[in-house]
Amino acid sequence: MGLPSDFHLHSEHSEDSTAPMKSMIEKGIELGLLSMCFTEHMDIDYPECPDLPAGSFILNTDSYRRDFLANKEIYKDRIDLHFGVELGLQPHIVSENINFIEKNDFEFIIASTHIINHTDPYYPEFWKDKSDKKVFEEYFKESLTNIKLFKNYDVYGHLDYVVRYAPEKDANYSVADYRDLLDELLKTIIYDGKGLDLNTKALYSGMKEPNPCRSILKRYKELGGEIITIGSDAHKPSDLAGRFDLISDLATECGFDYYCTFADRKAAYHKF
C-alpha cells in the first residue's frame, strides 16, 4: 500500500459512486490504513449531461453526516475517520459555495474545478472539434478564476484533472506551454495558505503521472508550497489507496519530506 492515510475518497453519498460507506471503511482497515477522510461531491449547478440530469451532484449533507457518525462510532477503535467534502467550483456560484461551507462542520475541504464554461470534460462529446491544448488552457484559466473568488478550502483538487479525459490523454500536454498561468495559480494557492491534493487516480487508471503531474508538484515546492495531501479519489473499495506504493518516492523526488492530514480544518504533517 505504501501510505497510511487516504484523504480523497467517495461513497454512495456521491452521485458517481454506489459503494456503501461501510464497504470503503472495511477495505481501508483491510489495507492497513490508519486514517481516511470521506470527501463526498458537492457540485452546485452541475450541468445536464448524457447520463445525468442537471443538479445531480447536490450532496444530501444530513444523510451523509448521519451515516458518517454512525460508522465513526462503529469503527472508532480500528481506524480514524474524518468528515470532508469535495466542493466543485464555478465562478457564478461563489456565494452559494460560501454559504454551504459556513453552514456545515467539515473537517477538510477539497476545492476542485470539474466544469469548464458549464460543461464537463469527463464526457467524450465535450472534446469534439476542440484542441486539447486550448482546452487545457481554458481549464487552467477557469481554475485560476475560481481560486481568486473562493478561499474557504484546504487543498486544491487534482489540479490538472482535465488531462485525464483528453482524447489523447497527456500526449499533447506540456506544463511549459502554460508556465505563466500555472505559476499564477500556484502562487495564489501558496499566498492563501492552501495546499495541493496529490491525486493517484490517473496512476491506477493507466497513466504515468498523478494529478497534478510531477512538474507542477516540483514547481509548487520551488515557489514555497509545503502542503500536500494524498488521495486515491476512489469511488469503490478496490481503488482505495490505489498506487500509494509509488507516492513516497514520487513526492520526495519532487522535494517533499512531509505529507499532510487534516482534522478540524488544521493540518498535521507526517514524514514520508
Q: Where does the pLDDT of residue 51 fall: very low under 50, low under 70, confident under 90, or very high at 90 and above? A: confident
**What's the rounded mean pLDDT across residues 140-150?**
98
* pLDDT, mean of residues 214-220: 98
User: DSSP for 27-44?
Assistant: HHHHHT-SEEEEEEEE-T
- Tell whether the model's pLDDT for residue 96 goes beyond 60: yes
Comparison of pLDDT for 77 and 118, the residue scoring more: 77
Please report, rounded to a whole number, the percentage of residues in the chain having pLDDT higher than 90: 94
Q: What is the CATH number of the domain that holds 45?
A: 3.20.20.140
pTM summary value: 0.97
pLDDT in tens, 170-184: 999 999 999 999 999
CB 86 within 8 A of CB 232: no
Q: Cα–Cα distance between 20 and 10 in angstroms, integer?
A: 9
Cis ω for the linkage preceding 212 (within 30 of 0): yes
Our count of domains for the chain comes to 1
Dihedral, 58, 260, 116, 57 alpha carbons, nearest 10: -10
Residue 40, domain extent: 5-271
Span of 52-56, 174-178, 203-207 with lowest mean pLDDT: 52-56
Nearest to 265 by CA among 188, 176, 187, 151: 151
120-to-1, 5, 87, 215 alpha-carbon distances in Å: 32, 29, 15, 25
